Amino acid sequence: MKQTSNFKNKDIETYIDKIKSYLDSKNLDYYDIRLEKSKKTGILIDNLKIRTIADNENLGVGIRIYKNKKLGFCSTTILENYKTIIDECIRATEKLTKTTNMKNFSSNKDKIKFKHKDFQDKDIEIKVKEFLEINKEEIETKRKDRDYKILESEIRYREEYTEKYFINPWSYISQDKPYSIMYSLMTGKKDNIIETNLNRNCKMGGLEAISYNDKQKVLSENTKILNELLVSKPCPAIKSNIILDAEVVGLLAHEAIGHPCEADDLELGITVLKKKGMVLTKNKNITIIDDPTIKGFGSFVYDDEGTKAKKVTLIKNGIVNDYMTDIQSATYIEEKSNGSGRAESYSDVPVVRMSNTFFEGGKDKNKDILTDFSGFYLKGFAGGMVEPSIGTFMFGIKQAYKYDKGKIVGTFKQASISGNILTYLNNITKVGNITDVSGCGFCGKSNQTAYVGDGGPILRVDNVIVGGTNHE
């Protein structure tokens, strides 16, 4: 859509009124309109060179219509064609054989402005110059402090600003969302060993979200991890007590609990967490939450069905307490949506998604958990998978620090943990009292990506198998 930048908010509102009146005249049981205007800018720096600077603007509308329990969807970037699109959509929907139960639609009127510093306040040339400077400092200036070589240092940066409108017969909501995302991908070499590591910082927010210092930190953290990976040995396979850092804990919350607590899985019968009140673990210290209202990468105020977002306690003291729902899946448990219907863009239908998912902090101080600890402290995520129907998982772990009576006695890489989530939760013996939900992820489901946050406190889990490459 090339005329996007010519579209002022007033023009958008005029189109919304026209589309709404047209839909009102069609005698539908329900409809909703999602109109979005977005601007994305990407920068790619490869060592000391600029590889790409890209700008991308987009404007479009997605419309759901509902009549006689048949649910249809259409979308377009050409707003002036709305009548043709809606007519076609109604015709196609009438032909559907599948029926869908939907009720308890939202009725909210609101205008949300996310407080942030506008991306336009700094020229793209200055942004690029800063990244070149930071990369040069890390590769060249700090070279003398290193005993390994950096073969490659790539920086990827993306900023996104989206204005979203949601309208149904009773709701009119506008909200905006700024995102700042930065990656550092580095490859280092020491003797004959080569390691690559990705470090990132993603925030909801504008220019203020990732400062110059934060950008430097993404790179300096990466060189530190690279240095450790280059001197670490592959982790042995061993039965041990372990401590999981917030990133791994967040992953466990998201993958092993969050996905099985998405209510659309209830209809399909593919979740291991079948019923509210089911005792997941006798361990009362386990509480797991999905909360779009806290500060995090997965935050929002209204979901893409116009429902106000709220905190959902998925697991409370070891018991299945609640599911994340959208309007459709809420009918499976005879409830109202709790605001978890999200769509990647106007051209996707909303589906049940997580927001910020985390273990709630417990009573144990971090230093008490580490004092006298013997076992492995596992840090950083390196890929994984979950089978939600039976609750098994396997996660790759980037780094494993071996502790003996509270002291680090070895550093390893290429570790993994696996097992059944239920037995795993039973074995959690300590829950740290500091909750860190700064983790960010790009969750894929139904061919859509959702920005999500995750984290938690550090957790001690006793007597589990740490996977590795050789036996000790």
- Please identify, using beta-carbon distances, which residue of 153 and 392 lies nearer to Zn ion: 392
- Structure letter (DSSP) for residue 114: -
Q: How many angstroms separate the CA atoms of 180 and 160, rounded?
A: 7
- Please identify, using beta-carbon distances, which residue of 194 and 382 lies nearer to Zn ion: 382
Residue 225: phi and psi, rounded to 5, are: -65, -45
Letter string b/e over residues 57-70, b meaning 16 or more CB atoms within 10 A of that residue's CB: bbbbbbbbbbbeeb
Q: How many angstroms separate the CA atoms of 344 and 336, rounded?
A: 22
User: What's the min distance (Å) between Cβ of 194 and Zn ion?
Assistant: 30
* Contact assessment for residue 42 and residue 153, using Cβ atoms and an 8 Å cutoff: no
User: What's the min distance (Å) between Cβ of 255 and Zn ion?
Assistant: 6
- Please identify, using beta-carbon distances, which residue of 201 and 357 lies nearer to Zn ion: 357
Binding positions for Zn ion, rule: CB under 5 A: 443
User: What's the min distance (Å) between Cβ of 444 and Zn ion?
Assistant: 7
- Please identify, using beta-carbon distances, which residue of 303 and 364 lies nearer to Zn ion: 303
The residues, any chain, with a CB within 8 Å of residue 320's CB and separated by 6 or more, are: 261, 273, 275, 276, 277, 278, 279, 280, 314
Q: How many angstroms separate the CA atoms of 152 and 144, rounded?
A: 17
User: What's the min distance (Å) between Cβ of 261 and Zn ion?
Assistant: 12
- Please identify, using beta-carbon distances, which residue of 59 and 253 lies nearer to Zn ion: 253
User: What's the min distance (Å) between Cβ of 254 and Zn ion?
Assistant: 6
Q: Which residue has the tokens 């196609």?
A: 92
Q: How many angstroms separate the CA atoms of 327 and 181, rounded?
A: 31
User: What's the min distance (Å) between Cβ of 246 and Zn ion?
Assistant: 17
* Contact assessment for residue 438 and residue 204, using Cβ atoms and an 8 Å cutoff: no
- Please identify, using beta-carbon distances, which residue of 443 and 466 lies nearer to Zn ion: 443
The residues, any chain, with a CB within 8 Å of residue 2's CB and separated by 6 or more, are: none
- Please identify, using beta-carbon distances, which residue of 266 and 443 lies nearer to Zn ion: 443
- Please identify, using beta-carbon distances, which residue of 252 and 443 lies nearer to Zn ion: 443
The residues, any chain, with a CB within 8 Å of residue 224's CB and separated by 6 or more, are: none
Nearest partner of 262 among 30, 443, 437, judged by Cα: 443
User: What's the min distance (Å) between Cβ of 305 and Zn ion?
Assistant: 20
User: What's the min distance (Å) between Cβ of 356 and Zn ion?
Assistant: 13
Q: Given its phi and psi angles, is residue 434 left (phi above 0), alpha (psi -120 to 50 degrees) or beta? A: beta
User: What's the min distance (Å) between Cβ of 252 and Zn ion?
Assistant: 12
- Please identify, using beta-carbon distances, which residue of 250 and 432 lies nearer to Zn ion: 250
Q: In the complex, which residue's CB is closest to Zn ion?
A: 443
| Cα 421 from chain centroid (whole Å) | 21
User: What's the min distance (Å) between Cβ of 259 and Zn ion?
Assistant: 6
- Please identify, using beta-carbon distances, which residue of 226 and 443 lies nearer to Zn ion: 443
- Please identify, using beta-carbon distances, which residue of 36 and 255 lies nearer to Zn ion: 255
Nearest partner of 335 among 343, 324, 351, 320, judged by Cα: 324
Classify residue 108 as exposed, middle or buried by CB count within 10 Å of its CB (0-12, 13-18, 19+).
Answer: middle
Nearest partner of 371 among 405, 408, 400, 411, judged by Cα: 405
Residue 212: phi and psi, rounded to 5, are: -55, -45
User: What's the min distance (Å) between Cβ of 378 and Zn ion?
Assistant: 20
